[in-house]
Amino acid sequence: MDTIFFESIAFYAYHGAFAEENKLGQRFLVDLELKLDLAPAAATDDLEKTINYAEVYQAVKTEVEDQTHTLVETVAERVAARLLSDFPLLQEVRVKVTKPDPPIPGHYRAVGVDIRRGRS
């Protein structure tokens, strides 16, 4: 299985368990791995035989920015479900949602979730 990947797509959104996160918002980074067979697209140079990166970006942007959720787990799950629904060539997706600046005490670079979902 081949992979199309996106690294650190940055969004500003209003997800979080604390009221200030829902009011003030914060940065979110999304990493994606899209698993599919890229050989037909490579052999024919045909965009219809692969996944359009711009369409993926727009789908993820809509899921991350247009709604508010308490958990980043929910955000990741909705992104994965949306991508599997919108792109029939996609066999499996990995979605990593990172909060680089969460309002919790401690010293760390970031917190987040990393999920994998595929077709049944």
Active site residues: 99
SS3 string, the chain, reads CEEEEEEEEEEEECCCCCHHHHHHCEEEEEEEEEEECCHHHHHHCCHHHCCCHHHHHHHHHHHHHCCCCCCHHHHHHHHHHHHHHHCCCCCEEEEEEEECCCCCCCCCCCEEEEEEEECC
